[in-house]
Structure formats: C-alpha cells, structure tokens
Amino acid sequence: MIARSLAARPLFCDLLAHAAMNLERNVSLETAYAYKTSTLEQVLLVTDHLRGLLDLTVQQTRDLVGTATSMAGAFWQMSATPGSQLEQMYTEHPDIAHANVEVEPRLTRILTALIAGMRVNP
C-alpha cells in the first residue's frame, strides 16, 4: 500500500530525492521553517493513519515513513528513470537489465521486511 502510493506519484518521488540535496539549501530561514513545519504536519497525519493500520509504535511508524520516502526518492533517481543511454544499454545488454529497478515491487519487499522485523523486535 505504501509502496504503491509512492510509486504512483513519480513527481513526488523525484522531489523527495531533490528536497534535501537541493530544495532545502540556499533558502531563507522563513522558507525552510515553513517547508519543514508543513512537511512534519503531513508526516504526522500519515504516521497516525499507519499506526492504526499496522499496530506499530510512534517511533516505528516514523522510521517506516522515513525509510519509505527516502528509498522511494533514491530508487526513483537511481533506477526507475534511467537516461536514454542507460535504457539503450539495458536493451543491448539484458544480462545487466536487472539494475533498472522497478520502484514499487522492490520498495514493497523492503518495507514488508522492515515491518515484520519491527513486529518481532519492538
């Protein structure tokens, strides 16, 4: 559910990767504060909803959301949107095409394992 929701929002995944690297730098303190408070409000809404569904602690849910968004942004940048040269290379060399990751299935596997581990080791 989390992975599907993120993967369905390619622009959001793209922005996730750019936020810390580019968008949060060289802005006024007021702009940074407005961005951070708005973002944290949204994260709180998501974590509250997920806690009810997954029966995790507050910290576990924050870690889950942080992991999901970080990995979605990273996977999107690294593999889901290869440049034209990489796409051509994957076509010409299918033996390494596995490096071109589909965000949703990989993120689903990772988050499923994370949640299972959190439940075993609260």
Domain count, the chain: 1
The four Cα atoms 104, 24, 65, 37 give a dihedral, to 10 degrees, of: -140
Which domain covers residue 46, as residue numbers?
2-120
Question: Residue type at 28?
Answer: S
pTM of this structure: 0.81
Q: What is the distance between the alpha carbons of residues 5 and 50, in angstroms, rounded to a whole number? A: 13
CATH number of the domain encompassing residue 74: 1.10.357.10
pLDDT in tens, the chain (122 residues): 899 999 999 899 988 888 877 777 888 899 889 988 999 999 999 999 999 899 999 999 999 999 999 999 988 887 766 667 777 887 888 787 766 678 899 999 999 999 999 998 76
Question: Residue type at 9?
Answer: R
